Copies of this chain bind each other. A is one copy, B any other.
Amino acid sequence: MHDFPRINPIRLLDDLKTLRSFGANGPGVVRLSLSPVDMEARRWLTKRMTQAGLDATIDGVGTVFGRSRKSGPALVIGSHTDTQPTGGWLDGALGVICGLEIARALDECAATRDFAIDVASWIDEEGTFSSFLGSRSFVGDAVDASLQHARNREGLLLGDALAQAGLANVPRVMLDRKRQRAYLEPHIEQGGRLESSGKSIGVVTTIVGIREFQLRFTGQRNHAGTTPMAIRRDAGAALVALIARIDDAFNRLADADTVWTVGRIDLDPGSFSVVPGKAEMYLQFRDANAERLHAMESALITLVDEWNARHAVRAELIACEGPEEPVAMDAALQQHVAQAAESIAPGQWTPMPSGASHDAQVIAHHIPACMLFVPSIGGVSHDFIEDTAQAHIVLGCEVAARATARIVDALRRET
């Protein structure tokens, strides 16, 4: 029995490595939601949670939930153990195993042994069937459409996959706001910001909002030799010209954290000798500030309108997925994480937005939520070579454990 919660680094890393073995593929992992190997991993995780003293089950959508038997206000620590089709070993897994280790560590410390820590592995954060299915189900968001119609890439219905996994008539774990009062999600950064700034811990301020648009251009397909530049209506040239204007406009609106990406361009018909008659592009932009996102969207609409007023090639703006608004992390929880980081790793932490989406953004609409990042080597994620230095994994779990103790202590004082 410790006087203050001390995580066991060997036990933490051993559990991470065991989880990695389910679906291992070279250094990476292929563990798609509800696949046989994913269900194997979920049964192993349930067993480890049970061994840690939690009441652990796989619920009706596949979420593994380990409920503390302790009374009083609970902190939920979680993330996801499903992966991308070519996934890394830490994305999601880190947060779940950290939660498990923190539940054990607090149980082994006299000062915190009564603290209630629930641990969750939310199903399908990565969207094999339906993104954030587990966290959405937990907080009571509507998931009926997903349950009835969502399919994976092979065309398997979510409902059939759940039945095959033996979860057809299993109840779903639901948020109890009276008891479950806050949420913490440790995660790898998935970017290169911590590494490039030499920091070890990121305290997440906001999960950015996202806008996705398709831009379609309709001009006139023509012979590339016989059509003078002056009479062309080149859809590809229009697309390239509008990208430059979008860059200018967004650069004026952006701060250092604003990002925008042209991820795809198609010209039709796509040959040397034909002036493209049609062109399409994907545009995505993200920002932590809802007003900036709206300003960017307005600027985009204005640019397209101005373009159409002045040019013979017609541009069409089509809103896709979303929009997703930015989600702020709870200020008091951020404070606890920051103070835990400062006490363990003074000067080695930084506040930062999350550029990627996480289950925390779903849960934050219902209870106070926060996130903590550790550095990704080379900024790489969603790739077999994704990795984080062991020292950073351990440090991240230590900071999360210290933050957990502070948060639950505060929750217990409130009640």
On A, residues with C-beta under 8 Å from B are 189-193, 196, 208, 210, 212, 222-231, 234, 236-237, 240, 243-244, 247, 254, 256-267, 270-276, 282, 284, 286, 320-321, 354-357, 379-382
Q: Which residues of B contact A356 (CB under 8 A)?
A: 223, 225-226
Q: State which of B227, B256, B267, B381 has its C-beta within 8 Å of the C-beta of A228.
A: B256
Q: Is the CB of A225 within 8 A of B259?
A: yes
> Whole-angstrom distance between the alpha carbons of A243 and B247 in the complex?
14
Q: Which 3 A-B pairs have the closest CB atoms?
A: A191-B226, A225-B355, A226-B355
Listed A/B pairs (14) with beta-carbon separation below 8 Å: A191-B222, A191-B227, A224-B286, A226-B355, A227-B355, A228-B257, A228-B259, A229-B258, A229-B260, A237-B247, A261-B272, A263-B267, A264-B272, A273-B284
B286 touches A192 (CB 8 A): no
CB <8 Å contact, A226 and B379 = yes
Nearest-neighbour CB distance to chain B for A302, whole angstroms, equals 20
CB-CB under 8 A from A224, the residues of chain B are 259, 261, 263, 284, 286
In the assembled complex, the Cα of A242 lies from the Cα of B193 at a distance in Å of 27
Residue in B closest to A271 when the chains form the complex, CB atoms: B263
Nearest B-chain residue to A275, judged by Cβ: B261
In the bound complex, residues from chain B placing their C-beta under 8 Å from that of A286 are 224-225
How many angstroms from the CA of A249 to the CA of B243 in the assembled complex?
19
In angstroms, how far is the closest chain B Cβ from the Cβ of A156? 22
Inter-chain contacts of A190 with B (CB < 8 A): 223, 225-226
Q: Among A223, A282, A356, which residue has the most Cβ atoms of chain B within 10 A?
A: A223
Docked-complex contact B275 and A263, CB < 8 angstroms:
yes
In the bound complex, residues from chain B placing their C-beta under 8 Å from that of A229 are: 254, 258-260
Q: Does B284 contact A265, Cβ atoms closer than 8 Å? A: no
Closest to A210 in B: B225
A198 to chain B, nearest CB (A): 13
**Residues on B with beta carbons closer than 8 Å to the beta carbon of A189:** 226
CA distance A382 to B221 in the complex (A): 11
Docked Cα-Cα span, A226 to B226, in Å, equals 46
What residues of B have a CB within 8 angstroms of the CB of A244 in the complex? 240, 244
> Which of B257, B263, B267 interacts with A265 by CB under 8 Å?
B267
- Chain B residues near A267 (CB-CB < 8 A): 262-265
- Partner of A240 from the list B262, B270, B379 (CB cut-off 8 Å) is B262
In the bound complex, do residue A226 and residue B276 qualify as a contact, i.e. CB atoms below 8 Å apart?
no
CA–CA, A355 to B229, complex, Å? 12
Chain B positions within 8 Å of A237 at CB level: 247, 262
Q: A261-B275, A263-B273 are in contact. Are A192 and B227 (CB under 8 A)?
A: yes
- Within 8 Å CB of A320, what residues of B? 272
Q: How far is the CA of A224 from the CA of B354 in the complex (A)?
A: 12
- Cα A225 to Cα B210 in complex, Å, equals 9
